[in-house]
Structure 1
Amino acid sequence: MEPVDLTRPIEPGMPVYPGDPGVSADASATMGSDGFRVTHLSFTTHVGTHIDAPAHMEPEGATLDEYGIADFRFDARLVDLAGGDRDSGGDSADDPGLGARDPVTPAMLPDGEDLDAEVDMLVLRTGWGAYWGDERYFDHPYLRPEAARHIADLDCAVGLDTINPDPTPTERAGEANAEPEGVPAHHELLGAGTFIVENLNLSADLPERFTLRAYPLRVDADGAPVRTVAE
């Protein structure tokens, strides 16, 4: 397959986690006044399509610089939890698959017998990427703690087309499904030393198996934006 870019653009006005500062891109030098262009960018380590390192949530967790470049190449398995027609290559907001704040349970995920030994990342397409840029994006489906534990037990990282593997705080939080408090899915995954890649654009027609490359900015931090490509 031709390489497919799964990365959301980083730009002012883009969705960010509630309470996080937004993205700014201001000119620090211009062609008219300086004869060249330089842009001052400001954003957090968890903006857009990004990777969470264990240090994001775990006091003794590893930071990104403790990994080699090969650790950011994954043998991925697509788990399509979404409905909708993707023949056009776009997200389908008419039928995003899972409903608002629906839980993903272990029964929805492959088990060890269904998984090739080489697979080291599950890419979960919930369909909620259809709402990127809309307030509904924050009422995404989430991983039940036991589903996150199941993924960790498979020794897999996880990629998501949502901003969070846990429920994101909004006005609708806790309305149904006995939502867990805090960030238990983060702790299950990062506590096991695996990665979480969030805000993937999974609108393309992807095969069930592919290589996913998610190379972060070279920063020794708790996470970083990634340019994520499926091959």
Structure 2
Amino acid sequence: MTLSDLTHAVADGMPVYPDTTPVEIEQTTSVAADGARAHVLTLQTHAGTHVDAPCHMRDGAPCLDALDVDDFRFDAVRVDCTDKDAREPIGVDDLPESDVAAEADLLAFATGWDEHWGTDRYRDHPYLTGDAAAWCAEHGCAVGVDGFSPDPTPSADPDRERDAEPDAYDAHAALFAADQCIVENLANLTALPDSFVLHAYPLPIAGGDGCPVRAVAEH
């Protein structure tokens, strides 16, 4: 058995989704002065490698504390999307056969876009169409992505945005309507085998709409 880390390090000033709370790590005590070292960590629930609960965008849907720990252990199938260009949609035709999806409860879309982490280019990741996300949900699969979102992220250069891009969060909506979770900002998906077990355990935050995770692939 091999364990592969799929998590971006949490660091002061790390990349966050546009116009959201920046990550700050402030040391408040030290061993020399106080006998113990401690920090205050400021980050929103959707910073870094994290899981989205269905209540993130759907009132009345399950939040993190309503889900079982088993809900964050996924039999995953990796979907190779490394041929996709910047801001290119991933459609139903790009998805695995139904019998392959039947063996999984999460599809991990490996675009290789994690190599752009820390740059403006990271915001131009490929994205799932609403129909593709609905197909995943209909086949009982959550979704994992190696970008900010399964939906398009606003570009640092608006001229890169395509006219056909959806204005709403179509992929989020389709998955949350089926009470499926989303794991975002994964790393190293392209190095994994076609199938693996994804462990992505959040804190059981009361009313939690999301939480950073230590995402690990077991294969």
User: Which amino acid in structure 2 is aligned with residue 59 of structure 1?
Assistant: D
2:33 is aligned to: 33
Aligned equivalents of 1:146 and 1:172: distance in 2? 25
Aligned equivalents of 1:64 and 1:114: distance in 2? 28
Q: CA deviation at 1:118?
A: 3.3
User: Which amino acid in structure 2 is aligned with residue 190 of structure 1?
Assistant: F
1:214 is aligned to: 200
1:110 is aligned to: 96
User: Which amino acid in structure 2 is aligned with residue 54 of structure 1?
Assistant: P
1:86 is aligned to: none
Quickly say closer, same or farther: Cα 1:211–1:35, change in 2 above 3 A: same
1:94 is aligned to: none
Equivalent of 1:225 in 191, 212, 218: 212
1:150 is aligned to: 135
Quickly say closer, same or farther: Cα 1:114–1:176, change in 2 above 3 A: same
User: Which amino acid in structure 1 is aligned with residue 215 of structure 2?
Assistant: T
**CA-to-partner distance for each residue in 1:91-125, whole Å, 9 max, x for gaps?**
xxxxxx3211100000000131333x331000000
Q: CA deviation at 1:79?
A: 0.6
Aligned equivalents of 2:5 and 2:56: distance in 1? 25
| Partner SS, residue 121 of structure 2 | helix
1:3 is aligned to: 3
Aligned equivalents of 1:196 and 1:203: distance in 2? 15
Structure 1 vs Structure 2 CA RMSD: 1.4
2:118 is aligned to: 133
User: Which amino acid in structure 2 is aligned with residue 230 of structure 1?
Assistant: A
| Structure 1 residue 57 corresponds to structure 2 residue 57 | yes
Q: Which runs of 5+ in 2 are unaligned?
A: none
Q: CA deviation at 1:204?
A: 5.8
Aligned equivalents of 1:167 and 1:120: distance in 2? 23
| Partner SS, residue 158 of structure 2 | coil
Q: Which of structure 1's runs of 4+ aligned residues deviate more than 6 A? A: none
Matches of residues 91-102 of structure 1 in structure 2 within 5 Å? 97-102=83-88
Aligned equivalents of 1:206 and 1:76: distance in 2? 11
2:173 is aligned to: 187
Aligned equivalents of 2:159 and 2:4: distance in 1? 34
Equivalent of 1:124 in 83, 96, 109: 109
User: Which amino acid in structure 1 is aligned with residue 106 of structure 2?
Assistant: M
What's the TM-score once normalised by structure 1's chain length? Answer: 0.89
Quickly say closer, same or farther: Cα 1:46–1:7, change in 2 above 3 A: same
**CA-to-partner distance for each residue in 1:130-162, whole Å, 9 max, x for gaps?**
101110000111111111111111110011001
Aligned equivalents of 2:160 and 2:70: distance in 1? 39
What's the TM-score once normalised by structure 2's chain length? Answer: 0.94
| Partner SS, residue 186 of structure 1 | helix
The number of residue pairs the alignment matches comes to 216
Quickly say closer, same or farther: Cα 1:173–1:167, change in 2 above 3 A: farther
**CA-to-partner distance for each residue in 1:20-68, whole Å, 9 max, x for gaps?**
1111111111123212101110000001000000010001111001011
Q: Which runs of 5+ in 1 are unaligned?
A: 83-96
| Partner SS, residue 130 of structure 1 | helix
Quickly say closer, same or farther: Cα 1:111–1:173, change in 2 above 3 A: farther
> Are the aligned partners of 2:123 and 2:153 in contact in 1 as well (CA < 8 Å)?
yes
Quickly say closer, same or farther: Cα 1:173–1:140, change in 2 above 3 A: farther
| Partner SS, residue 147 of structure 2 | coil
> Are the aligned partners of 1:103 and 1:177 in contact in 2 as well (CA < 8 Å)?
no
